[in-house]
A = this chain, B = another copy of it.
Amino acid sequence: MNEATPQQQQKILVVSAHPDPRSLNAALTDFAARHLRAAGHEVRVSDLYAMKWKATVDADDFPDHAADERLKVWAASERATLADRLSPDIAAEQEKVRWSDAVIFQFPLWWFSVPAILKGWIDRVFTSGFAYGPAVPPPYSEGVLAGRRALVSVTIGARESSFSDRGIHGRLTDVLHPVQHGLFWFTGMSPLEPFAVYGSHNLPEERFEAAKREYGRRLDGLFTDEPVPFRSLVGGDYDHGMRLLPGVEAEGTTGLELHTHPRG
């Protein structure tokens, strides 16, 4: 390592969601862990299938919730979070997120979204009181998880063209908006552009090698690449109804692009 520019050791949590340890997703998780450790970082992996992660939110998540009381999920999860009385599997994952300087999601794109087991990790771990809510800073700003980088690494069966600017599936960045903007940016994390491997149903060895090289470059830039320049809620761009103020955007901007600063 170059002594003049010593790399800071960072902590990275990889959350991985594929049922088979021989899958492309498992290989990419393994590659990321090795690559980041070789660069001197600490890595923890939440392999959701291996952990038999419980995907569904229910009353068992909140041990103090009375069985005969109506379960208002939002209220019950906030109460349990603030009282430090969440089920142990959720508390353990929250501790990993708190520990981390960066979070990576590794998953196959199923129905234009994350697999259910990863959605269940999101639903159960990112409780009110932990990641958002009255007890923590406002969303889309210096939220409670601010300072953390976030990277989606996704495998996609379809061709890249179908997720391009004019591709029929929609731009990948728009399809992943609920994760990139709705989860990461909402909770204060800084999402990078997603890393995607297309044509993943049948990936020849040389394309797998090329994907690893490209992913390696993205991992090298995990703490230095420019994040997606989403707008902050508290920066003066929005009104009290959380609507973008008139005239803030570049002429002709519409849709989800409204909520990103124009790139320089």
Determine if B116 and A56 form an interchain contact, defined as CB atoms under 8 angstroms apart: yes
* A176 to B, closest residue via Cβ: B178
**Residue among A59, A70, A169, A233 with the most chain B CB within 10 A?**
A169
Determine if A255 and B256 form an interchain contact, defined as CB atoms under 8 angstroms apart: yes
Q: Which residues of B contact A236 (CB under 8 A)?
A: none
If A59-B19, A241-B162 touch, does A259 touch B183 (CB 8 Å cutoff)?
no
| A161 and B241 alpha carbons, distance in the complex (Å) | 6
Contact mask for chain A residues 95-110; partner B; CB cutoff 8 A; 1 contact, 0 none: 0000000000000101
Determine if B116 and A71 form an interchain contact, defined as CB atoms under 8 angstroms apart: no
Task: Give how many copies assemble into the complex.
Answer: 2
If A70-B23, A164-B243, A178-B175 touch, does A115 touch B57 (CB 8 Å cutoff)?
yes
CB distance from A93 to the nearest CB of B (A): 14
* Among B57, B159, B178, B181, contact of A113 (Cβ-Cβ < 8 Å): B178
Determine if A119 and B122 form an interchain contact, defined as CB atoms under 8 angstroms apart: no
Determine if B140 and A168 form an interchain contact, defined as CB atoms under 8 angstroms apart: yes
Contact mask for chain A residues 110-144; partner B; CB cutoff 8 A; 1 contact, 0 none: 11111111011011001000000000000010000
* A158 to B, closest residue via Cβ: B242
Determine if A112 and B182 form an interchain contact, defined as CB atoms under 8 angstroms apart: yes
| A140 and B112 alpha carbons, distance in the complex (Å) | 14
Contact mask for chain A residues 231-264; partner B; CB cutoff 8 A; 1 contact, 0 none: 1010000100111100000001111111100000
Determine if A242 and B115 form an interchain contact, defined as CB atoms under 8 angstroms apart: no
| CB of A31 closer than 8 Å to a CB of B | no
| CB of A225 closer than 8 Å to a CB of B | no
* A71 to B, closest residue via Cβ: B20
| A204 and B97 alpha carbons, distance in the complex (Å) | 36
* A163 to B, closest residue via Cβ: B242
CB distance from A145 to the nearest CB of B (A): 14
* A182 to B, closest residue via Cβ: B112
Determine if B244 and A166 form an interchain contact, defined as CB atoms under 8 angstroms apart: yes
Determine if A256 and B170 form an interchain contact, defined as CB atoms under 8 angstroms apart: yes
Determine if A183 and B116 form an interchain contact, defined as CB atoms under 8 angstroms apart: no
Q: Which residues of A contact B (CB under 8 A)?
A: 19-20, 22-23, 49, 55-59, 70-75, 108, 110-117, 119-120, 122-123, 126, 140, 157-159, 161-162, 164-171, 174-175, 177-178, 181-183, 201, 231, 233, 238, 241-244, 252-259
